[in-house]
Homo-oligomer: A and B are copies of this chain.
Amino acid sequence: MGNTKGKIAEVSLALFNEYGIANVSQRMIAERAGISPGNLTYHFKRREEIVHELYRQLVEKINARLDTRLVGTVSLSVLFTITTSMIAILYEYRFFMLDFVHVMKGHPEIKAHHKTLSLTRENQFFELISQLVSNGTMRPERLPDEYKFLYMRLSILLDFWISSAAVSETDITKDTLDLYGQMILQSLFPYLTPQGETEYTSLYQPV
């Protein structure tokens, strides 16, 4: 039959998102996929391989979205669309974020890959910031390491807003994603110049 491996990944994602990795057994996955447990081990010899496959999908999606956005003029709106895209993608693979610590602890390859990814992401961020500063959109640093700390905060917020929402919200809708996106992006507002503020508000009051 067509693509059993893909089907397994698909239902695994759904189950992981719903119940959390630890609460999903291979038998559950097999049943939901309509295949036998033996067939599952045929396609994924070890349980971790399923998680790893989904991680590959996630990274691929993120890269695809980032590459198309990161060329061209640097402005606040670029940061906005990047963040909004990231939020949507991360939500699609939310079980990773909900189980972030355990995944990283139990999957050294994923952890290693994520580390290098974080580094390039950090460099891209500082690149962007320095351009926004010379741009007149953001003000220069007024404290030592001020933008290093800002980056730390942004990455924590991006990595864990889903966990926070999972705890405090009853269910997560499109509105929730917008709310958390706005919450994260507003971190930037107090660092903007008057010119930057104008751009910021225009992005939230379009037309």
Contacts and interface: CB of A to CB of B under 8 A. Distances in A.
Interface of A: 20, 22, 98-102, 104-105, 111, 114-115, 118, 142-143, 146, 149-150, 152-153, 155-157, 159-161, 163-164, 166-168, 182-184, 186-187, 189-191, 201
Contacts of A184: 153
Contact of A190 (B118, B183, B191): B191
Given A111-B167, A156-B164, A164-B156, A186 B146 contact: yes
Nearest to A197: B142
A167 B100 contact: yes
Given A111-B167, A156-B156, A160-B163, 10 more contacts: A98-B101, A100-B167, A143-B186, A143-B201, A153-B183, A153-B184, A155-B164, A157-B157, A190-B190, A190-B191
Contacts of A118: 168
B100 A187 contact: no
Given A146-B186, A152-B183, A186-B146, A20 B105 contact: yes
Contact of A20 (B102, B146, B186): B102
A149 B186 contact: yes
Q: Please tell me how many copies of the chain the complex holds.
A: 2
If over half of A's interface residues share one DSSP class (helix, strand or loop), that class is named, otherwise mixed; here it is helix
Given A156-B157, A160-B160, A149 B102 contact: no
Contacts of A186: 143, 146, 149-150
A197 to B, nearest CB: 8
A161 B167 contact: no
B22 A102 contact: yes
A173 B161 CA distance: 25
B101 A163 contact: yes
A161 B153 CA distance: 9
Nearest to A104: B167
A142 B101 CA distance: 36
A92 to B, nearest CB: 17
Contacts of A190: 190-191
